Chains A and B, each alone.
Chain A
Amino acid sequence: MSMKDLTPTRRQLLSAIGTSAGSVAAMQAMVALGHAAESQFTGPPTLSGARKGETVLVLGAGLAGLVAAYELTKAGYKVQVLEFQGRPGGRNWSLRGGDTYTEVGGAVQKVQFQPGNYLNPGPWRIPHHHKTLLHYCREFGVALEPFIQMNHNSYVHQTDAFDGKPMRYKEVATDFKGHVAELLSKAINVGSLDDKVSGEDKERLLEAMRAWGALDKDMAYASSLKVSGQRGYDRAPGGGVEGAPTPSQISSLSDVLDSKVWNQMGFFFNYVMQTTMFQPVGGMDMIGKAFARHVDHLITYNAKVVQIDQSATGVAVTYQDTASGATATAKADWCVCCIPATILGQIPMQVNDAMKASLKAVNYSASVKTGLEFKRRFWEEDESIYGGHSFTNQPISLISYPNYHYFKSGPAVLLGSNAGGLGGSLLAGMEPAARLEAILAQGEIIHPQYRQEFMNGVSVAWARVPWNMGGNSRWSDDARKQHYQNMVAMDGRIVLAGEHASYIGGWMEGALTSSIDAITRLHQRAQEA
């Protein structure tokens, strides 16, 4: 049956389904018709009818644990949550003035930010297709605001390009595109592609290159007002007598290649990096706090899990109060274990060897995030940069500008590093004071105002975060093939959840979807038991 045979129209049909049967049905119908298959989320779990008095122990009060506690309670279970830290949210976390942060090894940092300023050390941006997370934000009334992902006016910086001078993204990206378009046009015109492209398509490609590359009538990429209309002007258009703009000078192909700007251009194409992105107003931890408003009374804080046992009839988890050292045992019929694999892999747990092996098979990457507070928003005031990122090949990797309180006078906090890979290891291995100095030294190459305007800063090296001892999970293809299903399969009365037990590693959406899947299966098994 072709779509033409559908009467009424597809849109009318969807609208009818949407009104009559609820958004879940509409979503499923849209997927069936080939639309909106961008998320596996089709609505929150609708678990109900737990047996009276049936209990679940949730380990970890990160987002996976919080959503499990919230939904299982709604389903009728009696839930207890054990959390290592003294706060809910896990990696959903914000640091503000007055907070104290102690890393592995014992170094203490006191956050000195002014009121209203914060650092999100963990998750910091939300893709528009992370529908599970957005659902709970909507349900709990967590206010979201745009997270500026792409900024044409921020910098790209390579130590060995343009004499180490940071360049505006719009200049280098326009030049890259223009040079590539010119070269492709030349290749077409000298017949190099005759065996690959038909005559008609050659014409269309040439037309595309002319428009896309802002080429001139001779199919050349050259400095002009037309090109400046993309990469910016020497003198920007204005009013009155001196209103006429003057063009800027393009960079050479070779210089542009040095900049490796294709990295940035490609980055923005990534599914998870595409606009629109969001952040909670006031800090990422608004999400964890919103969950906690519903389940905080179920959480035992400062509880370090030291052993996880199970039998045919239930689970017993031994934990230690991190303040007093006293141990206690919590018992329940079932257990949803959301402790990160870095930690869980070291806790004696009565599960099958394959599940244990899976915890050793997933590795973690560990970035270093740094919040730097400056006396004023020089990036806005001096450089017209409002949100977005400047990229560099130095270990800090990027500088990201705050997406809130634009134009405000007084101190503001930017993200001074998001260092991964070896750059992350290098910075993580330093003590906080030396780390901060290194981060300032790299940042001032992009913004010379750094030293003059700097007030204070705090860095979080995820390798040294005591309750995570790593950043986020990273599965190799081989490990995924061998171990992933063993990790997510329920073993007796225990099921694991968290971003590591998902294909959306390193995102809050992964934690939530993993946990919802885990508790759905747990509920099924509990109903059958």
Chain B
Amino acid sequence: MNKQKFALQTALVALAVAGVSVPATADAPGAGGTQALGPETGEQVYRQICQACHMADGKGASGAGTFPALAENPRLASPVYPIIVVTRGKGGMPWFSNALSPAKVAAVITYVRTHFGNHFTTPVTEADVKKFGSPAPVIDH
């Protein structure tokens, strides 16, 4: 019971910004959610989302193709580029503008720009994301 209660609390803590909409035409996971998680800080966003592909150390990885390294990445010098990529998606990378608020996009980009060997210390702001980012793309089909 205690264990169940604990797991439930964990899940509750993890509760949602907004559900991620999935096109009805794809073989979607199902109708229950997946309920989005509630990362707050830039680091939490990185751990819960970005490291799935860019890996825990930010160094990316390779298979038949490559997940680019964010570590020591000079393309992060301007905040505009990562803002566009995170909100619009690029190549295999999906967009996250439907799941992350502009403030959280700003937080995670600020985190990445100041960690993993990056030293771009000017924080990225919510206003920057609103200015340069894209709203969530629409999928009707």
A residues near B (Cβ < 8 Å) are 84, 104-105, 123-125, 156-160, 164, 263-264, 266-267, 270-272, 304, 339, 341-343, 345-347, 359-360, 363-367, 389, 391-398, 418-426, 428-429, 441-442, 444-445, 448, 461, 463-470, 472, 474-480, 503-507
Mark each residue of chain B from 86 to 127: 1 if its CB lies under 8 Å from any CB of chain A, else 0.
Answer: 000111111100010000000000000000000000000000
**Contacting residues, chain B, for A476 (C-beta < 8 A):** 95, 137-139
Which B residues form the contact surface with A (CB < 8 A)?
3-4, 7-8, 10-12, 14-16, 19-20, 22-37, 47-53, 55-56, 61-67, 89-95, 99, 137-141
Given contacts A363-B89, A422-B49, contact A343 B65 (CB under 8 A): yes
Tell me if A342 and B95 are in contact (CB < 8 A): no
What's the A-B contact tally at a CB cutoff of 8 Å? Answer: 219
CB nearest neighbor in A for B12? A159
In the complex, A479 Cα to B22 Cα: how many Å?
16
Tell me, in angstroms, the Cα distance from A467 to B67 when the chains sit together.
12
- The minimal Cβ–Cβ distance linking B28 to chain A, given in whole angstroms, is 6
Q: Which residues of A contact B66 (CB under 8 A)?
A: 346
Nearest-neighbour CB distance to chain B for A34, whole angstroms, equals 23
Instruction: Report B-chain residues with C-beta under 8 Å of the C-beta of A84.
Output: 64
CB of B37 within 8 A of CB of A426, answer yes
Known A105-B55, A304-B64, A469-B64: A263·B49 in contact at CB below 8 Å? no
Q: Known contacts A160-B12, A469-B92; decide if A426 and B48 are in contact (CB<8 Å).
A: yes
Output the nearest chain A residue to B140 by Cβ-Cβ distance. A477
Partner of A418, one of B4, B29, B94: B29
B4, B23, B27, B93 pick with most chain A CB within 10 angstroms: B27
> Does A465 contact B63, Cβ atoms closer than 8 Å?
yes
CB distance from B98 to the nearest CB of A (A): 9
Report how far A266 CA is from B137 CA in the complex, Å: 22
With the chains together, A108 CA to B72 CA distance in Å? 28
Do residues B32 and A469 form an inter-chain contact, with CB atoms below 8 A?
Answer: no
Quick check: A442 and B65 within 8 Å, CB to CB?
Answer: no
- Given that A444-B7, A465-B63, A469-B63 are known contacts, is A272 also in contact with B27, CB under 8 Å in the complex? yes
Q: Binding site of A, secondary structure by majority: helix, strand, loop or mixed?
A: mixed
Q: Smallest Cβ distance from A326 to chain B, in angstroms?
A: 17
Q: List the 3 closest pairs (A to B, CB-CB), nearest first.
A: A466-B63, A421-B20, A476-B137
Task: Say yes or no: B137 contacts A271, CB within 8 Å.
Answer: no
Is A125 in contact with B65, judged by CB distance below 8 angstroms?
no
CA distance A426 to B10 in the complex (A): 14
In whole Å, how far is A7's beta carbon from the nearest beta carbon of chain B?
Answer: 41
Nearest to B56 among chain A residues (CB) is A429
Q: A367-B29, A429-B56 are in contact. Are A422 and B7 (CB under 8 A)?
A: no
Q: How distant is the Cα of A324 from the Cα of B11 in the complex, in angstroms?
A: 47
Contact of A397 among B27, B32, B99 (CB under 8 A): B32
Inter-chain contacts of A421 with B (CB < 8 A):
19-20, 22, 29, 33-34, 36, 99
B25 partner residues in chain A, CB cutoff 8 A: 270-272, 503-506
Are B26 and A393 in contact, CB atoms less than 8 angstroms apart? no
Which residues from chain B contact A304 at a C-beta distance below 8 Å? 64
Chain B residues contacting A341 (CB-CB under 8 Å) are 91-92
Instruction: A157 to B19: give the CA distance in the assembly, Å.
Output: 15
Q: How far is the CA of A467 from the CA of B53 in the complex (A)?
A: 14
A363–B31 contact, CB under 8 A?
no
Give CA–CA (A392, B137) in the complex, Å.
Answer: 26
Q: Decide: B27 and A422 in contact? CB cutoff 8 A.
A: no
- Asked whether, in the complex, the Cβ of B4 is within 8 Å of the Cβ of A448, the reply is yes
Q: Which residues of B contact A266 (CB under 8 A)?
A: 31
